[in-house]
Amino acid sequence: MSPFGIRLGAAMSHQGPVCVGIDPHRALLEAWGLPDTVEGLRRFSLTALEAFAGHAAAVKPQSAFFERFGSAGVAVLEEVLAGLREAGTVSLLDVKRGDIGSTMGAYAEAYLSDGSPLRADAVTVSPYLGFGSLDPALELARSTGRGVFVLAMTSNPEGAGVQHATWHDTTVAGEVIARTTRANAAAVDAGVLGDVGLVVGATVGGDIAELGLADDLAASAAPLLAPGFGAQGATVADVTRGFGAAAGQVLLATSRAVLQQGPDIRSLRVALRQAQDEAAALRG
């Protein structure tokens, strides 16, 4: 495969900078008239797969909502990931794994190795055991043409207590961004998106400005996965204003605002297209 950042950048240019989630939580299953069972999970997930595969720059299944059903739920997740591969749609598996040594290596093999049935084009990871703890995932992703998205500035209120804390002459978030920039050195030099992305909430534009991190984000070459667009209230204008020079790297993540239009496939696609039309302003 070509490098993940190149593939994602092409998909964002072609289909707009929107990543749509597949989040089969109990309330959405009920809203779709489906039972909160593995069969309901499968019907929900395959309907969303049919609606979104080939129509979005990236699709982001949330692993937890599959894992809660045990091995049968994980089997449905494998089916969804296989469907995205078959459609040629970038898959971003939201697992937020973070550990050390051989354990992190095992997580990396589960989601980023060529032979795993749970392999995705990219996964979310947590750096809060130290950025160096992510090395097994970064190295395997690099060797297989896949990517990782590192949590940097999340939108939950509790996140700021850790991410805004100072460490030496910078904040923790600033250090995560700096280490990501170094990991993306080749992409920085080439002027393309890197394979190491960052998760930066669409609602934290004020924090980005307060901490003076917009230029650092822009210089990182990182694709910026920005949850909070749509149902959580963030608008494209908020992102453009808050992310500044980095706005063109943003991949807006939306789930509930689109999924609540199901189970009709046409309605799901109309909602996705509306989000894509709104997001077009980020690309200038």
Active-site residue among 96, 164, 256, 273? 96
For residue 165, the SS3 value is coil
Residue 143 CB neighbours (<10 A): 11
Do residues 125 and 42 make contact, with C-beta atoms less than 8 angstroms apart? no
Strand partners, 175: none
96 as an active site residue: the answer is: yes
Longest dimension (CA), the chain: 53
Residues making up the chain, counted from first to last: 284
What type of residue is 38? Answer: V
Buried b (16+ CB within 10 A) or exposed e, 156-183: eeebbeebeeeeeeebbbbbbbebbbeb
Residue where the block lists tokens 């009709």: 264
DSSP alpha helix (H) spans, the chain: 4-15, 26-31, 38-52, 63-67, 71-87, 101-112, 135-144, 159-163, 172-183, 185-190, 205-211, 214-219, 236-243, 256-259, 265-279
Q: Which residues are catalytic?
A: 96
